[in-house]
Structure 1
Amino acid sequence: MNAPCSDPADRRYAPCPDYPPSLGESRLLTDEELNASLECTLRSWDRTTDLWLFGYGSLIWNPGLPTLEAMRSKVHGYHRGLYLWSRVNRGTPEQPGLVLALDRGGSCIGIAFRLAADGAMPHLQALWRREMAMGSYRPAWLPCVLTDGRRVDALAFVMRRDVPSYTGKLHDEVVKAVLGCASGRYGTTLDYVSRTVAALRESGMPDRALEALLERCRRGI
């Protein structure tokens, strides 16, 4: 394997034998595949009722679509973590980045966004191009408890464990290598994680495990 940040003059980064990973060939989903995935996910939606989206990562600080309401919320059965190799948005095929995903077990606090039914489809199509570009997530309707006590089914993007881009548990050395190197069409992994940590804290729901990971792994970067 090649060492990350291969410029020998750059001494900030130590080689990591487990990075970059061998992920094999990758491809973006076609417009037809994206549309089919979206239509399949929306089969239970009547197209007249406002729908909810559950944001646990970049959707918190950059939802990218107009919403009628945003409220802290919690889902059970899934937790947030850097479980997805990003070969487009926050990295490249040669030096993949990391982004957050929901994986099985535990619970997760995030922001639930209410999207108006009227005119929702163009925004959902844009969301699909952003989140489902490589089909690494499984769109799912998750029971979600809002802070005012309401219970809604919110659309969320759950990690698929059957794809090569699923990271599993990573050592700090790998995360540090990624934070030091990886950058994609939307910017660096370091910026992504830093902005998410800041947004979670500003929203009154700090993710202390993610904060601690960032603090450990960005030292010296």
Structure 2
Amino acid sequence: MKQFWIFGYGSLMWRPGFEFLRSEPARVYGYHRSLCIYSYVHRGSPEEPGLVMGLDRGGSCHGMAFEVLPERWDETISYLRAREQVTSVYVEKSKTIRLIESGQAVEAVTYVVDRAHRQYAGVLDEEALERHVRQGRGVSGACLDYVLNTLDHLREMNIHDPTLERLARRLGFRPRAARAERV
């Protein structure tokens, strides 16, 4: 029986928004997690863009894989396209991922940044990262909340992201237990 998987590396890890059969930590190779997308809708605006995660070329990325029931696949993909493709900054790809607990290799749909898109920010210095994270606010809330929630969930999964850790220190981040719950 064919399996249907989604790979999440940002907010999909902690707010998938779709029904799934099971989830498991996973890794994709050839891409890394990066705050490399100017957010004009969900976490910012064209006038004051925030930043959101993208899978960018090179390295590997730990994230979360979600198995979706075959009968829910079409509605799940429709939901994800509406959520992730608002400005078409991502390219929907099927990639082989490795499930961490079982060691199984599976095909999963994930969203990779389109480097030719005008919202591709590339590698920003720490001051620019901080400025965009502090200023960004969009229809899904504050960019700051998005970044700190992502970092909280990475830490819960024992995933160390040096760039996000440095950014969190610049932002005055305290672990979840020491601050109010963020959405």
Establish whether TM, by shorter chain, passes 0.5. yes
CA deviations on 1:113-164 (whole Å, 9 max, x unpaired) are 1011113222221111110111000111111011111000111100111011
Matching residue's letter, 2:98: V
Q: CA deviation at 1:84?
A: 0.4
Q: Report the Cα distance in structure 2 between the residues aligned to 1:54 and 1:152, rounded to whole angstroms.
A: 10
Q: Report the Cα distance in structure 1 between the residues aligned to 2:156 and 2:124, rounded to whole angstroms.
A: 27
Q: Report the Cα distance in structure 2 between the residues aligned to 1:94 and 1:101, rounded to whole angstroms.
A: 21
Unaligned 5+ segments in structure 2 are 174-183
The one of 171, 177, 189 aligned to 2:125: 171
The one of 75, 93, 104 aligned to 2:57: 104
Q: CA deviation at 1:204?
A: 2.5
Q: CA deviation at 1:203?
A: 2.0
Task: Verify: 1:196 aligned to 2:160, yes or no.
Answer: no
CA deviations on 1:38-95 (whole Å, 9 max, x unpaired) are xxxxxxxxxx733101010000000000111101111111000101011000001110
Task: Verify: 1:213 aligned to 2:167, yes or no.
Answer: yes
Length-normalised TM-score, structure 2: 0.89
- Which residue does the alignment assign to 1:69? 22
Q: Report the Cα distance in structure 2 between the residues aligned to 1:138 and 1:164, rounded to whole angstroms.
A: 14
The one of 107, 112, 115 aligned to 2:68: 115
Q: Report the Cα distance in structure 1 between the residues aligned to 2:77 and 2:35, rounded to whole angstroms.
A: 24
Report percent identity of matched pairs: 38
Length-normalised TM-score, structure 1: 0.74
Q: SS at the partner of 1:118?
A: helix
Backbone CA RMSD of aligned residues? 1.4
Q: Report the Cα distance in structure 1 between the residues aligned to 2:39 and 2:127, rounded to whole angstroms.
A: 17
- Which residue does the alignment assign to 2:40? 87
Asked which structure has the greater CA Rg, the reply is 1
The one of 80, 102, 110 aligned to 1:156: 110
- Larger strand percent: 2
The one of 117, 132, 137 aligned to 2:85: 132
Q: Report the Cα distance in structure 2 between the residues aligned to 1:219 and 1:109, rounded to whole angstroms.
A: 25
Q: Report the Cα distance in structure 1 between the residues aligned to 2:149 and 2:47, rounded to whole angstroms.
A: 24
Structure 1 stretches of 4+ with a deviation exceeding 6 A read: none
Q: CA deviation at 1:209?
A: 2.8
Q: Report the Cα distance in structure 1 between the residues aligned to 2:111 and 2:148, rounded to whole angstroms.
A: 20
Q: CA deviation at 1:174?
A: 1.2
- Which residue does the alignment assign to 1:180? 134
